[in-house]
């Protein structure tokens, strides 16, 4: 006697083979389970790859510049060593204009009573231009600096009091 050949089962999937052994009842996926599978796969992929639409999303798009405006001299005669009472004083209410790497006005701010204003700027080469302050002689000189994304930079601008 010869052994019987294994039963042939036709697969209804395109490109399927007809010589597979039966593995049990076929389970059909419902539309809901397919959608759930796609959602789970998307979440896993997004978590693994990060934000593909914004590959630099972790990199800050701005830098911080802390600008201190001071005015001096405040004493008619400077001594050596300098007298602490004659140190340059903070300028309250000074308007500071910052021009970005494209030479267009980027941001402006006004110093507080401590003479400080903190501004968020676009990284690159920027120019800080102090504006006239009533009661002070002239304007503090413009300062050009290079700022790096995510970093802070301290800059001091000096106004002239006119005291000699």
Is the pLDDT at 111 greater than 50, yes or no?
yes
User: Which residues span the domain enclosing 98?
Assistant: 63-160
Cα distance between the two ends of the chain: 125
pTM beyond 0.75 = no
Cβ 131 vs Cβ 140: under 8 Å: no
Domains in the chain, number: 1
Q: Which residues are paired to 19 by β-bridges?
A: 9
Residue 156 neighbours by CB under 8 Å, 6+ apart: 67, 68, 69, 70
* Percent of residues, the chain, with pLDDT higher than 90: 48
Rounded CA gap, 91 and 111, in Å? 7
Q: Is residue 154 part of a domain?
A: yes
The verdict on residue 84 lying in a domain is yes
Per the model's pLDDT, the better-predicted residue between 126 and 35 turns out to be 126
Across residues 134-146, what is the average pLDDT?
92
Q: What is the CATH number of the domain that holds 111?
A: 2.60.40.10
Tokens of 126: 């920027």
The residue-averaged pLDDT of 17-26 equals 50
For residue 79, pLDDT over 60 is answered with yes
Band of pLDDT at residue 162, cut at 50, 70 and 90: confident
- At residue 58, the pLDDT reads 60
Which residues contact residue 160 at a Cβ distance below 8 angstroms, ignoring those fewer than 6 apart?
71, 72, 136, 137, 138, 140
């Amino acid at each position: 006697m010869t052994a019987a050949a294994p039963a042939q089962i036709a697969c209804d999937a395109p490109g399927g083979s007809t010589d597979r052994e039966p593995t049990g009842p076929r389970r059909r996926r419902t539309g809901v389970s397919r959608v759930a599978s796609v959602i789970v796969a998307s979440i896993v992929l997004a978590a693994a790859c990060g934000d593909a639409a914004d590959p630099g999303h972790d990199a800050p798009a701005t830098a911080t510049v802390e600008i201190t405006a001071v005015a001096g001299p405040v004493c008619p005669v400077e001594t050596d060593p300098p007298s602490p009472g004659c140190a340059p004083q903070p300028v309250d209410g000074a308007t500071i204009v910052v021009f970005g790497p494209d030479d267009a006005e980027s941001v402006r701010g006004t110093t507080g009573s401590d003479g400080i204003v903190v501004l968020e700027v676009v990284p690159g080469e920027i120019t800080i231009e102090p504006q006239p302050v009533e009661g002070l002689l002239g304007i503090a000189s413009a300062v050009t600096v290079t700022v790096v994304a995510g970093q802070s930079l301290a800059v001091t601008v000096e106004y002239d009091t006119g005291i000699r």
